[in-house]
Amino acid sequence: MTTDAKTNLASASVSSDAVKVWGAQRLRFLRYWPIWGMVAIALSSGVGYGSYRLLLHQPAKPNCARVFWPFASGSLRVYCAQEKASQQTLEDLFAAIALVDELDANHPLRPAINPLIEQWSTQALDLAEKAFHAGKLDRAIEFAQKIPAQTTAYQLVKTRVDEWRRIWVEGESIYNRAEAALNNEEWRRAYNILIKLVQVDNRYWSGTQYDAMTEKIIVAQKDERKLVKAKRLMRQGGLDNLAESLGLVQELIADSVYHRSARKTQDAIATRLMTIAESALERRRYHASMDALELIPQDTPLWSQAQDFMKIAQASASAWNGTLVSLEEAINQVSQLDVSSPLYGKAQTLVAQWQREIADIQLLQTAQLQAQTGDIGDLATAVSQAQQISAGSDQWKVAQQEIDQWQYQIQVREDQPLLDRADQLALQGSPAALRSAIVQASRIKPGRALYDEAQLRISDWQYQLQPASPPLDSTPLDEPLQTVPANGNDPLLQSAETLASQGTPKALSEAIAQANQITPESPARFQANLSIDTWSEQLLNMARGQALVDPVAAIAIAQRIPRNSSVYESAQSQIQTWQQQ
């Protein structure tokens, strides 16, 4: 038997055995057919239930935010990229492109991915264009330059970016020039420049910025009218007009292109208010001065000066009371000004003035106290003291009133003895006595306190001297009227009186010397003695007044008084006193 035959025989034998075995196993399997039937029923039920569950409960969409991308499938990347791109923002479009562009060029999904990248790139360029028109040039350029190089849209990027930049520069230049003109307070020129902006091919410049600048120009027009009104009110002057003008410019200073002009106008108003305050204070109108000062704004260069001037005004108002206490209080107030203040010099001038006022008050009080005795010498001293008060002093008017009163008292005391002697002479009734009375009363000069009274008496005595009226046919028509000479017709006495009328110590001394030359037998001697007494008393009063400032000169004047004068002893006593000082 050949080898092949043996092999075939063996195989047939094995197959026969296998059939026998399978037959035997089949018989065993069939013995458990109820069990296998139940298993089959259970499996078919499970498959049916699973199919039912799949139909009713589809699986949830992938959560792209939680995907771990290194292990993500290409289809999942495409799905999530489409989800992002659907948001239609520049950030989302480029995120979508980046998500799918990471897949290899040979990836099976590339044929589907490339058209998507092309589509999204075109959309991104369109959105960049919108950003450009919305005024976001940097954003537009940034995202346009991210467009993948392999896309059609990329070929437009450089041209588009260059155009955007050119248009932007054009719009920005027009806008800036208009804004500069407006900030220079030239709104008409600004508008002429701005009108060119509507031709710019960019909605941000031709629309948004054009409208914004137009609104600014309209506001500038209104502000200009406010400024014109404020300046007009300032020129009209007066606190009410200046206050209203100030309110207008302060509105402009806050947020107007006219803020520089408004601030200059405000400073000019502050200067006018300061001038008003100074003028009012000079006229002693304290409240008007303070009202002007309180209007000066704090943000002007004059504000700190106004605060210092308020102190000066308050001190001045105190000084106007004219008392020692008020003047000292005023000095204390202005002394608080810092040496760096522009008004420090004025304050020091006022301090010096008020110190002189204090000295004048003290001088006047001393003079008033001196005059209380009523003595001619004391009254003359009081007059001399009060005359030292200058005409610019607040005490000057009071001093002049006192001087007038004291001089009146002096003249009365000096001239009353003359009038009394004249009355005594007139009582004798004789023509000679009446003539002597007239001579005596005539010594009272015009302008003296008793002059008018003396003239009335002289007129009366002259009337008494007229003779009784003779018959009309016996009265010589050409006989001159007789007048009584004032000095007995003595040439020496006339010359002496002429000298004495000059009122100087030298003239009075020379007058006394001439009067003393009249002989005792002369009818004019009596009158000469009276004149010598009067002139000597005048010399003594002058000496007393001079003694307050120059005792040596006072002694020289008193030494001119002759021994035969009624005041000689008083003069000698005064000389001794002055020599001991």
- Please state the domain extents for the chain: 19-49, 67-152, 321-394, 401-465, 499-581
CA–CA distance, 317 with 410 (Å, rounded to integer): 37
Contact 270, 302 (CB under 8 A): yes
User: For position 71, what pLDDT does the model report?
Assistant: 63
CA–CA distance, 439 with 265 (Å, rounded to integer): 78
Contact 120, 151 (CB under 8 A): no
Q: Please list the alpha-helical segments (H only) found in 103-209.
A: 110-133, 137-144, 154-183, 187-194, 203
CA–CA distance, 527 with 486 (Å, rounded to integer): 10
Is the Cα dihedral 486, 489, 493, 498 positive or negative?
positive
User: For position 311, what pLDDT does the model report?
Assistant: 93
Q: Which parts of the chain sit beneath pLDDT 50?
A: 1-33, 36, 39-40, 42-43, 45-59, 471-488
3-state helix, strand, coil split of the chain in percent (to 5) is 75, 0, 25
CA–CA distance, 233 with 228 (Å, rounded to integer): 9
Burial of 291 (0-12, 13-18, 19+ CB in 10 A): middle
Backbone angles phi, psi at 558, to 5 degrees: -65, -30
The pLDDT tens digits for 460-487 are: 888 888 775 554 444 443 443 333 444 4
User: For position 9, what pLDDT does the model report?
Assistant: 30
DSSP 8-state secondary structure symbol assigned to residue 468:
P
Predicted TM-score (pTM) above 0.75: no
Q: Enumerate long-range contacts of 389-396, CB under 8 Å, 24 or more apart.
A: 389/360, 389/363, 389/364, 390/356, 390/360, 393/356, 393/357, 393/360, 394/320, 394/322, 394/357, 394/360, 395/322, 395/357, 395/360, 395/361, 395/364, 396/360
Q: Helices then strands (H, E): number in the chain? A: 25, 0
**DSSP-derived secondary structure for 334-377:** HTTS-TTSTTHHHHHHHHHHHHHHHHHHHHHHHHHHHHTT--HH
Q: Which two tokens stand for residue 470?
A: 């003779």
DSSP 8-state secondary structure symbol assigned to residue 151:
S
CA–CA distance, 194 with 218 (Å, rounded to integer): 13
User: For position 51, what pLDDT does the model report?
Assistant: 36
Please give the C-alpha separations between residue 429 and each of 43, 434, 440, 527, in angstroms, as whole numbers: 182, 6, 15, 19
DSSP 8-state secondary structure symbol assigned to residue 481:
P
Q: Which of 484, 487, 442, 440 is nearest to 463 (CA)?
A: 484
Backbone angles phi, psi at 488, to 5 degrees: 70, 10
The pLDDT tens digits for 431-466 are: 888 888 888 888 888 888 888 889 988 888 888 887
SS3 517: coil
**DSSP-derived secondary structure for 208-271:** IIHHHHHHHHHHHHHHHHHHHHHHHHHHH-SHHHHHHHHHHHHHHHHH-TTHHHHHHHHHHHHH
